[in-house]
Amino acid sequence: MLKLLVKKQLMEVFRAYFYNSKKNTSRSKAGIIVMFGGFIIIMAGVLGGTFAFLAFNLCAPLVEAGIDWLYFAVMGLLGIFLGVFGSVFNTFSTLYLAKDNDFLLSMPIPVKDIMVSRLINVYLLSLMYSIVVLLPSVIVYWITVPVTPTVILGGIVLLILIPLFVTLLSCLLGWCVAKVSLRLKNKSLITVLLSLAFFAAYYFLYFKAQGLLSDVIANAAVYGENIKGAAYGIYLFGRIGTGDLVAILLFTVVILALTAAVWMLLQKTFLSISTATGAVKKTVYHEKTAQQKTPGRALLGREITHFLSNPNYMLNCGLGIILLPALGIFMLIKGRELVEALESVFSFGAGVTTILICVALCMVVSMNDMVVPSVSLEGKSIWLAQSLPVRPWQVLKSKLMMQLLLTGIPLLFALVCVFGMIPDGVPVRILAVVFCLVNLLLLSLFGLFLGLKFANVKWTNEITPIKQGMAVLIIIFGSWIYCAAIAGLYLWQGYKIGPAAYLGILIALDGLFCVGLYLWLRRQGCRKFAEL
């Protein structure tokens, strides 16, 4: 039974890998291998590569200083942070909001089997995020020091138990969200605010960690002694990877005990939370004359209502709405110092700072990808958009407009703040503004293209299209790679032609891609939407 449920969960998560929605058929074996190959390249190649680079820089100095436990403590904590960051927001919905909860509970399936299958889903997601830090860390360590059986055992324990620890943390946080949300009226808003506080804390620690890591390498011995004296738990945690049997045993026992405690808590409350309807006071209806909207405005309003109704949607696809103005304000306060610092570092080429500012803005813009899952989020109610007297393009345009409005307005604010900081003449500044806006258009059109290409309206949990779809994965990593390429190309050769020509070429290229994508959306895209 459990095997069946786990298979169902995994089939749902990886549906796009097995099923070709375009042809309405199962993928061939070769197709499945290609899909999984692409996924592994992104996770192992891009993310894993970044952390392997960090591990190489950190491991040797700390091993030489005889405090290799500190290496594992740092990398382990990074793994925990990344894992919690990646899985905490979907644990609540995976456990308690899955649309097939009622269906499964009505069947002769033990409740614990349903819970275990959901938890395995959370564990695999935690594993996916934390392993990109942990696996390179362990391998780099095994390359750096002589490998003994206890060192191998320590590495394996870390690889298995840290994702389990992440799962436990995510479950506890998910349980807290579930308990609180049963009593809240404006659940979406409060969930978003709480989550943003979490994000703020996360990024604060993340940015502090950058400086701290450099400091740790420079003063390894001092830090080692201080942590060992003040936080013995972290010392022991770090000792696991080095093959300390006592630390391995203690960590395993603690994690197993925590697992048992969390399991008991979830088992006691799962049924009541997942079947609760909440005791929120009923909203009273007051009859009034509504303002008439055009179909276009009504469709746009529908998209924005959907976006604002779902904390998962807002948090996973709309962080840029807050971060763009935050970046603008940051630049107003610290911009001058930052620009001066960048100018002195990149003094070899004119316009590097301008390009880097554009890249920074584009990276934050890419955190808004609400258009990508918007097609799949139509879900079972897609019959409405298809049966109403509106053209497919009107529906698609409303999705595009949502992305452009919710990102364009914060972007314009950030551009106004940054405009004066750009250390080049007014023509280059104007080109920078145009480039950022064209890039937003490209991201939006490309997002809609991906949303249609990988459309999946047969989900049982909204988190599937929001977070676990191939389209979302491609847009996130694709835009990061694109931004990195723009900066890298300029630093490599682009500075020779100057920022104006470079930005001009980019605008022209982006514009061409926009035209191509627009034409595809108007023809094949509309057809695809009508046939979903």
Q: Which residues bind other proteins (CB under 8 A)?
A: 277, 282-295, 297-299, 301-302, 305-306, 309-310, 379-381, 383-384, 386-391, 530-531
The helix/strand/coil state of 25 is strand
Question: What sign does the dihedral 292-298-302-308 (CA atoms) show?
Answer: negative
Q: Would you say 225 or 531 has its CB closer to other proteins?
A: 531
Q: Would you say 144 or 460 has its CB closer to other proteins?
A: 460
Q: Would you say 109 or 382 has its CB closer to other proteins?
A: 382
Q: Would you say 383 or 492 has its CB closer to other proteins?
A: 383
Cα radius of gyration (the chain): 25
Instruction: Look up tokens 């894992």; give the residue.
Output: 83
8 Å CB contact between 72 and 140: no
8 Å CB contact between 217 and 67: no
Least gap, CB of 269 to other proteins (angstroms): 22
d(CA 288, CA 494): 60
Show the tokens assigned to 159: 């690889």
Least gap, CB of 93 to other proteins (angstroms): 13
Least gap, CB of 189 to other proteins (angstroms): 14
Show the tokens assigned to 223: 């830090």
Instruction: Look up tokens 């803005």; give the residue.
Output: 361
Q: Would you say 210 or 289 has its CB closer to other proteins?
A: 289
Question: What sign does the dihedral 460-466-468-474 (CA atoms) show?
Answer: positive
DSSP 294: -
Least gap, CB of 199 to other proteins (angstroms): 23
Show the tokens assigned to 149: 């059986």
Question: What sign does the dihedral 467-473-474-475 (CA atoms) show?
Answer: positive
Element (H, E) at 91: helix 68-96
Instruction: Tell me the sheet residues that pair with 368.
Output: 318
Q: Would you say 184 or 430 has its CB closer to other proteins?
A: 184
Q: 287 phi and psi, to 5 degrees?
A: -70, 130
Least gap, CB of 461 to other proteins (angstroms): 13
Least gap, CB of 298 to other proteins (angstroms): 4
Q: Would you say 20 or 259 has its CB closer to other proteins?
A: 20
Least gap, CB of 458 to other proteins (angstroms): 12
